[in-house]
Each structure stands twice: as structure tokens, then as C-alpha cells.
Amino acid sequence: MNKQIYKLLLILELFLLGTSLTACSTKSNHSETAKTELTNRPISDTKFLMGTVCTIKIYNKHKERALEAGFDRIAVLAKETTVNQKGSEIDKINYNAGIKPVKVTPTIFRMCKDAYYYSKISAGTFDFTIGPITSLWRIGFPDAHKPKESTIKKRLPLVNYRNVIFNDQKQTVFLKKRGMKLDLGGMAKGFISDEVMKVLKRNGVTSAIIDLGGNIYVLGKSPTNGGNWSVGIQDPKAARGAAIGALPEQNATAVTSGIYERYLKVGKKVYSHLMDPKTGYPCQNNLLSVTIIAKRSETGDGLSTAVFNRGLKKGYKYIEEKPGTEAIFITKKKKVYITSGLKNKFKLFPDSGYHLAKIETVK
């Protein structure tokens, strides 16, 4: 989105050179100057929210209040969207499934409608009604287990985004069948990241990094010569902090779905937390991770899961048909496939142990 898909952490390598830059005119007063003056020593904080590590770094001077407002926004939305805490907005919707519509806050209503949209455009390879399945497997929690096939089959009919009914006038959400459950873990962090970005902008921030458990958003220009942030892509076979390559970005997001950090091992079989809405089992293909590059973090979140479930060839084709969206696919054989818009941007590190491959070679 824990609708929680545990995503691969992306590594931000910030090549910050020189002293602070000033974009204001000589006639600007102090408050106007504070909106645009940049520094290579950011105001930053890190907190554990939404079950993950969240970091905000602001490279404008005098923006301590903006930093606080950003974290306040995360805390409020995290509380409203969780499916692991009774009384949340999503919990109320799930509790009343098949009973009655539930009036929610305008923000949660918008988030649910957005989740419906990504479920629809992905033809259900991302489905925000996956809750009956994720709550059955519980991968990522101490009580995770492999369910009986009969139990999975019994719950599968409950997974269908088309059975979510919205009333725009009353701002209500209704799940048509008893037992249905929304799980926004697959796109909540992306939605919240975009909301934090809006808060920072309203507070005059023009240069910042938002990192919500690996959902990266880089706002504006980095205070360097050239202004691009260098966004590193995590090595899915190594410890956090090891990147296989990087790409320059401004006002963009990088969001990853992968199978290697959050999983359940039963005997010699490993099951990832990424569920296939059509089978009720963790998806099985040759991918280790998919990273989506887009202008909105919510887009990256919603599409990364959908694309992963499609597999390499179909997922690649799907992204190529989405204007303004690019992707990096990493396979279990350590091959890296990048969509056409990244061919002159993404740089694979020579000593990464991975190598670039062409999608045309995939059978």
C-alpha cells in the first residue's frame, strides 16, 4: 500500500556538494528567503510509524514546523488506515461488511476510491479487497502459517474489488458480502507519502526527501550542482544499504515490491507476502523485485504489486503502455530489465554482480 506489503527498501545516495544555495532575490524579506534558501545539512527526523521506519529530510532552512507537520500527517493517516487496530476507519468498514455502509473521512474515502481505481486498471492483479487472504496467511506476523487449501478456496470469492460500493454524496463505503475485508497495505504508504509531500509544499518546502519504509519521494532539487537526487536501487540479495545501481530524479518517487524480506518458510518451501488475488497463494514467478518510478508515490505503490503479480514479460509490457511510469525488474537469476524511459538514466554499478538484459530475449 500493514493493504501491508512489505516493500524493498530503496537506497538514497545523496551526492551533496558545496555550500548552501540561495534562490531568492536580493529584495526578498526574511520570510520569503526562508522558503527558498537551501542547505546541504538538512533538518531531519526518523520515527517508527505504520510498522516501519519513516524519515523526512528537509533541505530548506528554517522549516522545523514543516517537519513536525509532516510527521503529524503520517501519524493521523496511519491510525485511520490500519487493519491491525480496532476502531480505525478501515476496521469499521470491514466490521460492517455485508451489513451497512460506513461513513468515513474525506481522506479515507479518497484513498479507498484510489485503491478501487488501481484494482480496476490492473484487472485485479492488485486488489484492495485481498484482506480475507492476507489475514489468513498472516505473513509478517508471529502467527504466520500456511492455511489449508479448502480454507483458501472458501475465502477466495470474497476477494473482488467490484463488490465495494461508494456513495459520493454521503461519503460512505460498503462491502457487499459478509466476511469481505479491505487491506490497504499495498498502497497506504504511497498515498501517505503523497500527502506528506503536499504538507511540506504548503509549508514552503521546495527540497526534501520522504522515505516511508522504502517508499521514496524526492521533492524539488537537491542542493548540488545540477540539482538531481541520486536514487539507489536496493540489491534484493544483500543486506539493506547495498545498491545495484542508481538513477537521477527530481519530483519523483521510487517504490519497490519484492519477495525476500517478508516471507513464511514451511519445510523447504518459501512463501512471500505478495498474494495473488486470483489464487489466494503467494505469487510465484522469476522476479525478486519490481521498482516503479512515477510522479506520485501512490501510483508506484499500486502498480508495483500489480506488475509483480503479472510477472516479467507481461508486467514489462503493462508499464510500457503507461505514460509517465517506468520500472526496474530484478530476476532471481540476477538479471535487470529496465523500461525504455530509463535506458539513458539508470546506471548499473559494475561490481554489483547483476547485469542488464533485454526484454526481447525473454521467452
Taking only the tens place, the pLDDT of each residue in 260-280 is: 667 788 888 888 888 999 999
pLDDT band, very low/low/confident/very high, at 54 (cuts 50, 70, 90): very high
pLDDT of residue 22: 30
Taking only the tens place, the pLDDT of each residue in 65-116 is: 999 999 999 999 988 888 777 888 999 999 999 999 999 999 999 999 999 9
What whole-number distance in Å separates Cα of residue 362 and Cα of residue 354? 17
Contact 256, 8 (CB under 8 A): yes
**HSE (side-chain half, CA atoms, 13 Å) at 307:** 34
pLDDT of residue 81: 85
CA angle, corner 310, sides to 179 and 4, nearest 5?
A: 45
pLDDT of residue 273: 84
Q: Which of 29-38, 141-150, 293-302 has the highest mean pLDDT?
A: 293-302
DSSP secondary structure letter of residue 19: S
CA dihedral over 205, 207, 208, 209, signed as positive or negative: positive
Compare 143 and 25 and report the one with higher pLDDT: 143
DSSP secondary structure letter of residue 148: P
Helix/strand/coil for 197: helix
The CA distances from residue 106 to 28, 129, 138, 182, in Å, are: 38, 20, 29, 17
269-272 and 287-294: which strand pairing?
unpaired
Residue with the three cell numbers 539508470: 346
Contact 115, 127 (CB under 8 A): no
The CA distances from residue 118 to 2, 326, 353, in Å, are: 18, 16, 34
Q: In terms of residues, how long is the chain?
A: 363
Mean pLDDT along residues 116-128: 94
pLDDT band, very low/low/confident/very high, at 6 (cuts 50, 70, 90): very low
Strand order in the sheet with 11-13: 11-13, 229-234, 243-249, 347-348
CA dihedral over 321, 325, 331, 334, signed as positive or negative: positive
Residue with the three cell numbers 480496476: 120
Mean pLDDT, all residues of the chain? 87
pLDDT of residue 202: 96
Residue 238 clears pLDDT 90, i.e. is over it: no
To the nearest whole percent, how much of the chain has pLDDT over 70? 88
Residue 9 clears pLDDT 90, i.e. is over it: no
Q: Is 66 exposed, middle or buried (0-12, 13-18, 19+ CB in 10 A)?
A: buried
pLDDT of residue 14: 36
174-199 burial, b at 16+ Cβ within 10 Å, e below that, comes to: bbeeeebbbbbbbbbbbbbbbbbbeb
Mean pLDDT along residues 226-237: 87
What whole-number distance in Å separates Cα of residue 166 and Cα of residue 112? 9
Spell out the domains of the chain, with CATH numbers in brackets.
11-75+192-361 (3.10.520.10), 89-175 (1.10.3980.10)
Residue 259 clears pLDDT 50, i.e. is over it: yes
Residue 226 clears pLDDT 80, i.e. is over it: no
Taking only the tens place, the pLDDT of each residue in 199-214 is: 999 999 999 999 998 7
Residue 16 clears pLDDT 60, i.e. is over it: no
pLDDT of residue 176: 98
Helix/strand/coil for 117: helix
Confidence (pTM): 0.85
Compare 267 and 181 and report the one with higher pLDDT: 181
Residue with the three cell numbers 514467478: 285
What whole-number distance in Å separates Cα of residue 208 and Cα of residue 217? 8
What whole-number distance in Å separates Cα of residue 143 and Cα of residue 222? 43
What whole-number distance in Å separates Cα of residue 356 and Cα of residue 336? 5
What whole-number distance in Å separates Cα of residue 30 and Cα of residue 26? 10
What whole-number distance in Å separates Cα of residue 5 and Cα of residue 104? 23
pLDDT of residue 61: 94
pLDDT band, very low/low/confident/very high, at 18 (cuts 50, 70, 90): very low
